[in-house]
């Protein structure tokens, strides 16, 4: 029975599985998108998401250095760790989780294994509408009136813009007459 067994063993020993996930994680960070089997992609998601979460904390210099060391112990690749902290972390700063996306691609010819593409969500040009716009964190509450407040702010800015445009037009007309 499989009661309480978390994580897929992937038909490997513990050391082989650790090395596999380490290599897949480094490749995912480096290339932002990799193609592998569905089982490996699901195992990689549970391995890499906590690592990406570790890159987001920026309390003090000691905490940042400590997180660098922890992430390096999971990846063992200096280039991937540097890429993770310098390129990936700023893009996922506003995201509360769910940094990866798994897309099924069908069956592989030969052994009929299910193939999937796993990618970092914020680095997809097709689906990413606001790439690089993660300045403010995502809101966690659902209160009514959020859209009303935004509409009022938009109206106020458009009124200010029309008033300044009218003032500029009258200023240019008076300058032309003089």
d(CA 161, CA 169): 12
Per-domain boundaries in the chain: 14-123, 141-178
Tokens (6 digits) for 125: 């040009």
C-alpha R_g of the chain? 24
Q: In a structure prediction context, what are the per-residue pLDDT tens digits for the chain, which is 178 residues long?
A: 889 888 889 999 999 999 999 999 999 999 999 999 999 999 999 999 999 999 987 678 888 899 999 999 999 999 999 999 999 999 998 899 999 999 999 999 999 999 999 999 998 877 755 545 555 666 666 666 666 665 556 555 555 555 665 566 556 555 555 5
Q: What is the predicted pLDDT for the residue at 72?
A: 97
The three-state secondary structure class of 115 is strand
Strands 114-120 and 100-107: antiparallel
d(CA 90, CA 84): 9
Give the architecture-level CATH label for domain 14-123. Answer: Alpha-Beta Complex (3.90)
d(CA 57, CA 71): 12
Distance of CA 83 to the CA centre of its chain: 13
Q: What is the predicted pLDDT for the residue at 48?
A: 97
Nearest in space to 93 (alpha carbons), one of 119, 122, 118: 122
Q: What is the predicted pLDDT for the residue at 175?
A: 58
Q: What is the predicted pLDDT for the residue at 124?
A: 83
Tokens (6 digits) for 32: 């932002």
Rama region for 103: left / alpha / beta (φ>0; ψ in -120 to 50; rest): beta
Q: What is the predicted pLDDT for the residue at 173?
A: 58
Q: What is the predicted pLDDT for the residue at 163?
A: 61
Using CB atoms within 10 Å of the CB of residue 25, give its burial: 0 to 12 exposed, 13 to 18 middle, 19+ buried: buried
Q: What is the predicted pLDDT for the residue at 165?
A: 57
- The alpha helices in the chain, defined as continuous H runs, are 14-31, 38-54, 61-75, 78-83, 89-91, 146-177
């Amino acid at each position: 029975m499989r009661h309480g067994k978390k994580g897929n063993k992937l038909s490997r020993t513990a050391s082989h599985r650790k090395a596999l996930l380490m290599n897949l994680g480094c490749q995912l960070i480096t290339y932002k998108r990799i193609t592998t089997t569905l089982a490996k992609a699901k195992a990689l998601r549970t391995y890499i998401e906590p690592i990406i979460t570790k890159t987001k904390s920026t309390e003090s210099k000691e905490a940042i250095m400590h997180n660098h060391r922890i992430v390096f112990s999971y990846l063992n690749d200096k280039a991937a760790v540097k890429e993770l902290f310098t390129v990936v972390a700023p893009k996922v700063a506003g995201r509360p989780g769910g940094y990866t996306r798994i897309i099924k691609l069908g069956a592989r010819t030969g052994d009929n294994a299910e193939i999937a593409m796993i990618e970092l969500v914020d680095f997809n040009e097709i689906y990413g509408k606001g790439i690089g716009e993660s300045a403010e964190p995502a809101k966690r509450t659902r209160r009514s009136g959020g859209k009303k407040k935004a509409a009022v702010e938009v109206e106020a800015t458009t009124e200010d813009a029309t008033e300044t445009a009218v003032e500029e037009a009258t200023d240019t007309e008076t300058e032309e007459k003089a």
